Amino acid sequence: MKDEIETEIRDFVGSLGLDHHAILPADGNLGAALEAWAAEFDVGTDPTSLPFRLAVTETVESDGPAAQASGTALSGETAPGDRVKILPRGSEAKIARAESEGDRMTLWFETPVKVMPGDLIAAADAPAEVADQFEAKLLWLSDQDMLPGRPYRMRIGAATVYCTAASPKFKLNLETHEELAARKLEAGEIGVCNLALERDVAFDPHSENPATGRFALLHRRSDKVVGVGVLNFALRRASNIHRQAMAIDKGARAGQKNQKPAILWFTGLSGSGKSTIADIVSQKLHALERHTATLDGDNVRHGLNRDLGFTDVDRVENIRRIAEVSKLMVDAGLIVLTSFISPFRAERQMARSIVETDEFVEIYIDTPLAEAERRDAKGLYKKARAGEIKNFTGIDSPYEPPRRAEIVVDTMRLGPEEAAENIISWLEERGYLN
C-alpha cells in the first residue's frame, strides 16, 4: 500500500507539470502517513461519470469567430453544441469543435471568449465552485515545518496562486486517527487547516470530484513540492465578504499629505540599531511635515501581539499581523516605519507582496553578530548565551539577511544620524516626499 500511494502522489504531482522525483522528506519516513493518506486518493469514482472539467494550459487568440483553448481533460465529456463556463470569471461560451488525444483536449468556441492559462472550463449546467478560502486536509512533505502565516504557492489544476495556511485545526495521530492539537505540521504529518488564497480559483470539493479537489503546495520561490492536499469545502466567508469601494482612496489621502505612502521596513539583528535609526528617520520626516506612523517590535508586543512568543510559528504570525496593519496605514496615505528583526526572508517577502511594488522599502541594518552582541544594551545576548532565553535570533534561531534590500546601512561605517540622512535622501530622490 505504501508504494502504491507513493506512486499515486508522484503521478499526481507529475500531472501538474511538477518534478515528481524529489518530493519526499530526506529521511523518507512516511510509511504511516502514506497509509493514512491512501483513503484520500482512493475515491473509486469513474472520472468520465463526473461533470466536464478542463484545466486550461494554452490559449490561442483568433481574429475569426472562434477562440481556442487547450489543456488537460480532468473529468467528464463534452461535444460541439455544449455550453461551458470559463472559471473563475464565469463567462459562458458554446463549443464549436473539440479534439482529444489521450487526456489532452483542444476546444474551439462559436464566439470570441476570454480564456487564459490557469482557467477551468466546466459544464455550464454543472459548474465548479469558485472561492479564495477553504478548509483543506494536508499531507506535509517538506523537512521545513509548515508554519501558519508563511506564504506558499498552490498548484490546483493548471492554476498557480499564492496562499497562506492558518494554524492547524488538528493533526492526526497516524496510529489511532485521533485528532490532536497542533500549531504546525512537520514532515510526514497530516492535518486539517484553513487556506487563504490571493485570488479566486475554481474547484470542486474533493469528495465530489477528486480531479479538481486536490492540490500541491510549493515553496514560494521554487517548484519544490512541500505538501499535497485535498479541499474539503469553501469557507462561507469566502463568498459573503467583499471589499468595499471607498470614495476617498489611498491616492486622495496621500495627495492631501503631499507624500507617497510606503512601508519602510527596518530589519536586522537585535542590537543592530534598527529602532534608533528608524526613530531618527521619523523625526526628520516629522520636521519635513510628512505624516508617519511607527511600529516597533517591543512596543507592538505590549499590545497587538502580546499573545505571541518567539518560536518560529509565533515569529511568522507576528510579522503577518504587522504587515496587515502596515498595509492599512499605507491605505491611509501614511509613511509607515516598522522596526522588527523579522528574521525570515519568506515573511519579509510576504509583507512586500501585500502592497504595491514601490510601496515596500526594505532597509537592512547590517551589523555583524559580534558587534550586536558587544553592544547588548538590554543584556539579551548574555541571557541567550546562558540559556535563559530560548529561540533568540543569531544564537539558537536563524537570521536570513536580505538578498536585495532597497537600502543597506553598514553600521560599522555609518552612525545613526548619517544613516538616517542617507535614508531621507533616498526617499527624496525617488519621489516619496514629493
For the segment 122-134, the average pLDDT, to the nearest whole number, is 92
**Does the annotation count 342 as an active-site position?**
yes
- Work out the average pLDDT over 39-52: 74
Candidate from 16-25, 35-44, 208-217 with smallest mean pLDDT: 16-25
In angstroms, rounded to a whole number, what is the distance separating the alpha carbons of residues 354 and 196?
A: 13
* Structure confidence at residue 26 (pLDDT): 46
In which region does residue 257 sit, left (phi positive, over 0), alpha (psi from -120 to 50) or beta (all else)?
Answer: alpha
Neighbours of 148 (CB within 10 A): 19
Task: Show Cβ contacts of residue 376 under 8 Å, excluding neighbours closer than 6 positions.
Answer: 271, 382
Distance CA 83, CA 123 (A): 7
The 3-state DSSP composition of the chain as helix, strand, coil percent (nearest 5) reads 30, 30, 40
- What DSSP string describes 41-79? H-----GGGSPPEEEEEEEE--SSS--EEEEEEEES---
* 132 grid coordinates: 479564495
81, pLDDT greater than 80: yes
Residue 20 has pLDDT above 80, yes or no: no
Distance CA 381, CA 392 (A): 8
Q: Which three cell numbers stand for residue 88?
A: 473563475
Residue range 300-359, pLDDT digits in tens:
888 888 888 777 777 788 888 888 999 999 999 999 999 988 888 878 888 888 888 899
Q: Is the pLDDT of residue 65 over 50?
A: no
Domains of the chain: 2-44+129-240 (2.40.30.10), 52-123 (2.40.30.10), 250-429 (3.40.50.300)
Q: Give how far Cα 295 sits from Cα of 10, 65, 338, 399, Å.
A: 45, 56, 5, 20
pLDDT digits (tens, 9 = 90+) for 171-197: 988 888 888 988 889 888 899 999 988
Bridge partners of 75, per DSSP, are 53
Instruction: Report the pLDDT averaged over residues 6-30.
Output: 64
| Element housing 191 (H / E) | strand 190-203
pTM as predicted: 0.63
Q: Report long-range pairs for 318-325 (Cβ below 8 Å, ≥24 apart).
A: 319/149, 319/344, 319/347, 319/348, 319/350, 319/351, 320/149, 320/164, 320/347, 320/350, 322/295, 322/351, 323/347, 323/350, 323/351, 323/354, 324/354, 325/295
Q: Which of 239, 342, 353, 397 is catalytic?
A: 342
Strand 104-109 to 68-75 pairing = antiparallel
pLDDT higher than threshold 60 for residue 106: yes
The per-residue DSSP string of 11-33 comes to: HHHHHTTS--SS-S-TT---HHH
The mean of the pLDDT values for the chain is 85
Rounded to whole angstroms, the Cα distance separating 250 from 151 reads: 26
Task: Say if residue 419's pLDDT is above 90.
Answer: yes
82-102: pLDDT as tens digits: 999 999 988 999 999 999 988
Give the integer Cα–Cα distance in Å for 155 and 195: 13
pLDDT tens, residue by residue, 268-290:
999 999 999 999 999 999 999 99
